[in-house]
Amino acid sequence: MTKPCIICVAITGSVPTKADNPAVPTTVAEQIESTHAAFEAGASIAHCHVRNDDETPSSDPERFARLKEGIEKHCPGMIIQLSTGGRSGAGKTRGGMLPLAPDMASLSVGSNNFPTRVYENPPDLVDWLAGEMRSYQVTPEIEAFDLSHILQAIRLHGEHRLFGNLYVQFVMGVKNAMPADKQVFDFYVKTMQDRAPDAEWCAAGIGPNQLLVNEWAIAAGGHTRT
Amino acid sequence: MTKPCIICVAITGSVPTKADNPAVPTTVAEQIESTHAAFEAGASIAHCHVRNDDETPSSDPERFARLKEGIEKHCPGMIIQLSTGGRSGAGKTRGGMLPLAPDMASLSVGSNNFPTRVYENPPDLVDWLAGEMRSYQVTPEIEAFDLSHILQAIRLHGEHRLFGNLYVQFVMGVKNAMPADKQVFDFYVKTMQDRAPDAEWCAAGIGPNQLLVNEWAIAAGGHTRT
Ligand SMILES: [Zn+2]
Ligand SMILES: [Zn+2]
Ligand SMILES: [Zn+2]
Ligand SMILES: [Zn+2]
């Protein structure tokens, strides 16, 4: 049997609103149905963000709880991954939903530039989030915006500071961070294969790079994110 | 004639004090004589930080002016590079010495983690520092703490946003940033050779990695930093 490709569906993200695209699901009810449709279409992981009523990003544990409950009901067996990303809150509020004990949660282990600001993941916050994930048995998906983040994830996993199997996502195409670059992608894959052969990896191309990076990831035997 | 190796001497840095090592030059007078000794020993670039009277890091333009004047007098022809690093100040104070029009100044073009905090180089500050360097005809030395910083430097130079020839320094061995890693080093070198064949590059290993990274850089045809 060949190795299956895991499709992770990022139904909402933290940036787009209905003004950008009326199809973006921003209420919990819309997110549940959108995830359900993706699940029926073959997605195995739901990468979840929640929004306030005005569509701005939120880390509200109560909204995450309702979303998680709905996905569990409509999509039995789907892996639920909640975002601890920095666009939805600052400091420890980013991990306020981890006591819900989702299957997975995103985790950034380094800092980098975003289009107009610094994406701040200071070492003490990374340690705290990783510790909460260990406490609630949440497997992190490492969001690697640069090469050192991959090496840091491998190091932290080797030190038993990341719960579960190591799962690394290469994020490419964010302005002022790592571009969608095939030579870099190939080096990322080689780095994972050489140094963490038991880990899984996936890749996401942001915006117009999405399908390109999906193709690279599938062709190289990795997993993929919408 | 073979290509010469440029030795850049970082006489003071921003962290160590005389309590760590009594030989660290922290007054301007000590820095001038220390640079002079390095110049006599073959160093061609002086990478300069200044300190307050209590040895804490500073970006004080007046101290930088006295240091620059002293090095010019004692070390005729030496290339003077002033640090705009973030340990010595925040925001635009980091570039307050650029009107002194040194030959070079350090420039970080991305953000990353340091041992206990985020090294913040937000995009608007990078743009401002690069613009000041163009105004005063200062060639930046790009301090690359991660792979995307190298690609960003090549991109900015291609857009004529960096004055002079492209000069990139690979910084390896800072905890929570890029470790001193030979495979990564080799990929850095290949990236420079493939994408910026007219540029120069050097490498610095922090702390115990210094001589190791010096050896890698010299063997690969690059330049080196103490
Ligand atoms: Zn996300
Ligand atoms: Zn449904
Ligand atoms: Zn320095
Ligand atoms: Zn002298």
pLDDT for A1: 57
Question: What pLDDT is attached to residue B226?
Answer: 87
User: Given this model, what pLDDT does residue B5 score?
Assistant: 95
DSSP string, A142-206: EEESSHHHHHHHHHHHHTT-S-SS-EEEEEE--TTS----HHHHHHHHHHHHHH-TT-EEEEEE-
Tokens coding A215: 């193709």
> Which residues of B sit within 8 Å Cβ distance of A?
110-113, 115-124, 126, 145-148, 151-152, 176-179, 181, 183-184, 187, 191, 194
Q: Are B110 and A113 within 8 A, CB to CB?
A: yes
| Residue pairs between chains A and B whose CB atoms are closer than 8 Å | 91
Contact present, B46 and B35 (Cβ < 8 Å)? yes
**Interface mutation target, options A117, A118, A172, A194, chain B, most CBs of B under 10 Å:** A118
pLDDT the model gives residue A193: 98
User: Which residues have CB under 8 Å from B155's CB, separation 6+?
Assistant: none
Average confidence (pLDDT) over B187-193: 98
pLDDT above 70 for B1 = no
Identify any residues that bridge with A32 across adjacent strands, giving them in sequence order. none
CA separation, residue A167 to residues A138, B89, B173 (Å): 12, 37, 25
Tokens 């301090």 correspond to B143
Say which CATH number the domain at B37 has: 3.20.20.70
What are the contacts of A113-117 at 24+ separation with CB within 8 A?
A113/A176, A113/A177, A113/B110, A113/B111, A113/B121, A113/B122, A113/B123, A113/B126, A114/A174, A114/A175, A114/A176, A114/A177, A115/A174, A115/A175, A115/A176, A115/B123, A116/B122, A116/B123, A116/B124, A117/B122, A117/B123
Which of B177, B187, B110 minimizes the C-alpha distance to A188? B187
Across the range B49-78, mean pLDDT stands at 97
Mean residue pLDDT of chain B comes to: 96
Which of A55, A111, A219, A164 shows the shortest CA–CA distance to B121? A111
Chain B residues whose CB is inside 8 A of the A173 CB are none
The answer as to whether B216 is a domain residue is yes
Res B43 pLDDT > 70: yes
Domains of chain B: total: 1
Has residue A1 been placed in a domain?
no
Q: How far apart are CA B176 and CA A114, in angstroms?
A: 19
pLDDT average, residue stretch B64-93: 95
- What 3-state DSSP class applies to A110? coil
Structure token pair of residue A58: 């939120």
3-state DSSP assignment of residue B32:
helix
Is the model's pLDDT at B142 over the cut of 80?
Answer: yes
pLDDT value for A90: 86
Centroid of ligand 3 to alpha carbon of A103 (angstroms):
43
**Which residues in chain A come in under a pLDDT of 50?**
none
How long, in residues, is chain B?
A: 226
Which ranges in A5-122 belong to alpha helices (H)? 28-40, 61-74
Domain range spanning residue A152?
Answer: 7-225
Query: Is B199's pLDDT higher than 80?
Result: yes
Cβ distance A148 to B145 less than 8 Å, yes or no, reads yes
What is the mean pLDDT of the segment spanning B177-203? 98
Is the pLDDT reported for residue B104 higher than 60? Answer: yes
Is residue A137 domain-resident?
A: yes
Residue B18 has pLDDT above 80, yes or no: yes
Interacting residues of B190 by C-beta distance below 8 A, sequence separation 6+: none
Q: Give the type of residue at A55.
A: E
In a domain, A82, yes or no: yes
- From chain B, the residues in CB contact with A110 under 8 A are 112-113, 146, 176-177
Taking an 8 Å Cβ-Cβ cutoff, which residues of chain A contact chain B?
110-113, 115-124, 126, 145-148, 151-152, 176-179, 181, 183-184, 187, 191, 194
CA A56, CA B33: separation in Å to the nearest integer? 57
Residue B2 lies in a domain: no
Are the beta carbons of B122 and A113 separated by less than 8 Å?
yes
Question: What is the per-residue pLDDT for B210?
Answer: 95
User: Is residue B70 one of the residues assigned to a domain?
Assistant: yes
Domain assignment present for residue B117? The answer is yes
CA of B6 to the centre of ligand 4 (A): 21
B181 to chain A: nearest residue by CA? Answer: A151
Query: B110 and A115 in contact by Cβ < 8 A?
Result: no
Dihedrals phi, psi of A60, to nearest 5 degrees: -55, 115
Nearest CA in chain B to A148: B178
Reading the block at residue B107, the tokens are 């420039």
Is A2 a member of any domain?
A: no
- CA-based end-to-end distance of chain B: 25
